[in-house]
Amino acid sequence: MISDQLKNQHLLWRAGFGPAADQQKQILKESPKKLFKSILESSRKDPVLFDMADPALKSLVMTASGSAFPQKRNLSPEEKKNIRTQSVLDIKALNIRWLQEMTESDAQLREKMSLFWHGHFASKTVNIFYDQALLNIIRQHALGNFRDLLYSVSKSASMIQFLNNNQNKKDHPNENFARELMELFTMGRGNYSEVDVKESARAFTGWGASLQGEFEFRKRQHDDGVKTFLGKTGNLSGEDVLDILLNNKQTAVFITRKIYRFFVNDQADESKVAELAERFYKSGYDIQKLMASIFSSDGFYNEENIGTHIKSPVEWLVGIRRQLPQEIENPDVQVLLQRLLGQVLFNPPNVAGWPGGKHWIDSSSLMLRLRVPQLIYSSDAILLKPKDDDDLMMGMKDVQQAVAKLRSGEIIRTRIHWDIFLDHFKDKPDAELFAAIQQLLLQSPTALSEPGMKKYMDLSGRNAMIQSAAIRFMSTPEYQLC
């Protein structure tokens, strides 16, 4: 029989980034139903929006024709160089700020949903104004209505630039946004024709964004002719196309399936997906109601769903920080770890986002994951160098210099607050410590050998044993699962 402790830990890992050290007593005492109610309540309040753009950068770009990334004729070569370099630094700061929010915020479900939507609506522009505006949209609507989220993302400067809709003009339609809208954001491949792509691209002509980051409808560039899209004919606008897609139940099925695979199991149970999708559609695309249906169902706690999800690099990194509260003296090292492990926030591999699942693990990344807890414990150096990201570097030496600190030999300088973690075990007899630590840190049913593990633990004292055991458990393949 699955214990409430394991169920609660499962819930905290899937509806957030794992249990925090100070939630250990709550895990043991509360029912999963009561715990989910508190998780949901903590995510209801509006998020504090991020603004990580450097003040000097804001001043520079806003005085140059009042635009975020002005045309070349408005700036000197030195100013353009400074803007590019500073934007990369600010995006890195935004990355670190969001990680901090994921780690410390009580609104765990909202931030976890935001991470999901960040991968679903994958975009990268190397423009701090565009990137943070899209993230703020996602965090605002993460648990709201999918219709509002889809509309806002579709009109964001980040998505318009990334998918070339600024170049989508009457008589010269660009199909990038229209195609990805259907294939990746709503219905999924196989549910539309090439004619639908072409016709919807015509509907989105004239949808653009100013260099300042504001949505613009350029009427002269819009094709106002008759169009036929998914069986609907008329002088269709971009908004009409979005409404047609939302009125199609296949959109609810596609989104629900993707959410199910992210939050429940990589192998979707199609009967459950169909049931959830029907409720999602009838609710008018209420995301919070969908998530409540998922996390409140008995099936969510079935054995086949527990300890079977491979943590993404971000989930893994934030989870460690939540379970072992710590101060990181050089927070930039977290970006290095993301690059080494294959998931850098604001830098998805393509418009499809990160594939997830078994793609997170290969021989190199697994070995690093197994090593990092010890590096954190001993403030040791990472002796690996990430590959240069040509998209991020954009072939510019000044941008390369901006990320030059992410190099081989970077030391993880942290101070772990062990007192919070140790307090959980103060009433545990010595004979029960090993099992208790394992139950807290591992979701996998595999029982590790106590004699074998103790060979690598510090047995000089009770606290030393607990600390070294925690690090050893976090350094196992089993800890990569939740």
Q: For the segment 451-481, what is each residue's pLDDT rounded down to a tens digit? A: 999 999 999 999 999 999 999 999 999 999 9
pLDDT tens across 93-122, in order? 999 999 999 999 999 999 999 999 999 999
Question: What's the rounded Cα separation, in Å, for the pair 66 and 431?
Answer: 68
* pLDDT of 212 over the 80 cut: no
309 CB-near residues (< 8 Å, 6+ apart): 13, 14, 265, 266, 481, 482
* pTM for the predicted model, two decimal places: 0.94
Which pLDDT value is given to residue 340?
93
Return the minimum-mean-pLDDT range out of 22-26, 152-156, 229-233: 22-26
Question: What's the rounded Cα separation, in Å, for the pair 8 and 92?
Answer: 33
Task: State phi, psi for 325 to the nearest 5 degrees.
Answer: -55, 130
**Do the beta carbons of residue 167 and residue 174 sit within 8 Å?**
yes
pLDDT tens across 240-252, in order? 999 999 999 999 9
Which pLDDT value is given to residue 83?
82
* pLDDT of 392 over the 90 cut: no
Which pLDDT value is given to residue 59?
82
**Do the beta carbons of residue 67 and residue 29 sit within 8 Å?**
no
For 303-341, b where at least 16 C-beta lie within 10 A, e where not — what string?
Answer: eebbbebbbbbbbbbbbbbbbbbbebeebbbbbbbbbbb
* pLDDT of 354 over the 70 cut: yes
